[in-house]
Chains A and B, each alone.
Chain A
């Protein structure tokens, strides 16, 4: 079917509703945030409309730079871990019978119904010294005495990967289900082992899906602010934690907005860079 070029205004009507939603729920709030980030902070109240760069200037220090760097690294690590775990898992899942697949997907969807708070407290119990999994290791003789596994960077990473994994699988699933089975059959006929076929045929064929999934999980993980607080030390706190502190506890909306704008810009830049690199490689 050939797509007809739009001729009359009426042909654009299907676009109006999404455009309106995008404006109301994204463009307007984001513009307000940008505007507030230039407002003047008034320590005795909230803020006064103005156009100052103080809020950005305060952010441009080695301290906030390192917090931003940590947040980005953490989000990248979460994205990589999720995809590394989820991709082979989803691939194997699509090889199972319909009933088994449904069961797994329902299970994964039910994990999504857990709130971040519940996930955080559940992991903090599992990682605790008094009631955690190390007691189990002691019981079976793997460890001498129970230890606390939190607060630590690894606890934060585990919690965040746990939270993002169902999303990752649900995003990868449609692409893997639709993957042309003849590709694999051809590889096998030509003598490739299943493992080799997976890495040399399936993975490259789904490159764009994998990149898109990485970006989605990265953005998802970047906004996390509860799990780093519950499972990590202050040095594991993300920029989102400090934004919350400024907005809610210090009533410093302009500074919080400036930090948020910075975070959005940096992540947009990283996403753009990833796409650009991907396109160049594809062109070769």
Chain B
């Protein structure tokens, strides 16, 4: 259990990584003229550790390009650092792992060098949500890591797994739910739209968003905990104190494997799929190396390795993967995912945040 908690805290809270990043940046880069190298920014903590251990050495073996990994700070701090460095012609990292929202924000200042899709052998096998494009069609980013947030339950309290996200609205579940505390990390507006309004396209208009908020307000009496800290909910879920909620599929699976009375269910409307992209700073000169890296990372074998060793959902179509059914089920599902409307958290960020805060606090 402590291992899972560590994993979760370090993987997604990533506090303190900023300090680590500053330390790495301050170190002089060891460069040998004839050797090809690439600086890759990855989320500090769990991701950086797993990549350093399982992925980067294999890449160097396969291509001869050495990787210097840089721990990225959480949130948008890294985006701002990249942007300011790029203005001065510097790239603290050539490639970075970047959240979908930050990728879109970087697009607005042309921070990302367009990528040449012809250089990626498995470009055609990528799932469409893992190709991030500029409005004019140039490729801005390629999926790096993905994970699912699903409907989780305590098996002692719920003998039968719920089938749909509408369980959150069931009045029988009053005061029993644990949900993420922010619009932009719980993606509950998207869940509402998919479950009751025919799909996330219903959020295209302000009226649609208002309707989703009104529907979501009905969930409020069922919520016992709006959590920011994952350990807080995970503990309560295991003990049955808060027997239902939304949580990370991979971590819940690991807890169940440890014998905890928890289960993760992909509702019939789909799990929520969140992800990050590989993006190339416009100040980087390592264009060829960066393409080689993304090409390597997008191979079925490497995606399989990532799913097994890092616990991420594959970015490629299932047919090309070598994952066994149980390995695939541990990180993903065949049910089409709910893909968050990241564009809303760029174009209407403050308005949605304000309504959300008033909804849950008011």
Contacts and interface: CB of A to CB of B under 8 A. Distances in A.
Contacts of A41: 350
Chief secondary structure at chain B's binding surface: helix
Given A45-B105, A250-B350, A251-B76, A63 B358 contact: yes
A234 B241 contact: no
Given A43-B350, A45-B79, A46-B76, A128 B241 contact: yes
A234 B360 contact: yes
In the complex, which of the residues B76, B182, B185, B224 has the most CB atoms of chain A within 10 Å of its own CB atom?
Answer: B76
Nearest to A247: B75
Question: Which of B182, B184, B232, B347 has the largest count of A CB atoms less than 10 A from its CB?
Answer: B232
Contacts of B105: 43-45
A148 B358 CA distance: 26
A225 B241 CA distance: 23
Interface string A221-258: 00000000110001101000010010011111000000
B251 to A, nearest CB: 18
B241 A130 contact: yes
A248 to B, nearest CB: 6
List 9 tightest A-B contacts by C-beta distance, closest first.
Answer: A251-B76, A234-B361, A234-B360, A44-B108, A130-B239, A44-B105, A130-B241, A46-B80, A43-B349
A151 to B, nearest CB: 7
Interface string A124-158: 10001111000000000000000010010000000
25 contacts: A43-B346, A44-B109, A44-B346, A45-B76, A45-B80, A45-B83, A45-B105, A46-B80, A63-B362, A121-B232, A124-B232, A128-B241, A130-B239, A130-B241, A151-B225, A229-B228, A229-B229, A234-B226, A234-B360, A234-B361, A245-B357, A249-B184, A249-B185, A250-B353, A251-B75
Contact of B239 (A58, A128, A229, A251): A128
Contacts of A67: 361
B75 A249 contact: yes
B162 interface: no
Interface string B107-119: 0110000000000
A128 B178 CA distance: 14
Interface residues of A, number: 28
A235 B361 contact: yes
B297 to A, nearest CB: 27
Nearest to B352: A250
Contacts, number: 65
A131 B226 CA distance: 21
Nearest to A255: B350
Contacts of B83: 45
Contacts of A245: 182, 353, 357
B240 interface: yes
A64 to B, nearest CB: 9
A151 B232 CA distance: 12
Interface residues of B, number: 33
Residue among B181, B357, B360 with the highest chain A CB neighbour number at 10 A: B357
Interface string B190-232: 0000000000000000000000000000000000111011001
A63 B83 CA distance: 35
A43 B362 CA distance: 24
Task: Pick the most buried of B109, B228, B361: most chain A CB atoms within 10 A of its CB.
Answer: B361
Nearest to A63: B358
A66 B349 CA distance: 23
Nearest to B182: A249
Given A43-B349, A121-B232, A251-B75, 10 more contacts: A43-B346, A44-B108, A44-B346, A63-B362, A128-B236, A128-B239, A230-B232, A234-B361, A235-B362, A250-B349
A250 B348 CA distance: 12
A250 B76 CA distance: 9
Contacts of B236: 128
Contacts of A234: 181, 226, 360-361
Nearest to B108: A44
A242 B75 CA distance: 16
A280 B232 CA distance: 48
A55 B312 CA distance: 39
A124 B236 CA distance: 10
Contacts of B76: 45-46, 251
Contacts of B350: 41, 43, 250, 252
Nearest to B175: A148
A234 B184 CA distance: 17
From A46, A234, A252, residue with most partner B Cβ within 10 Å: A234
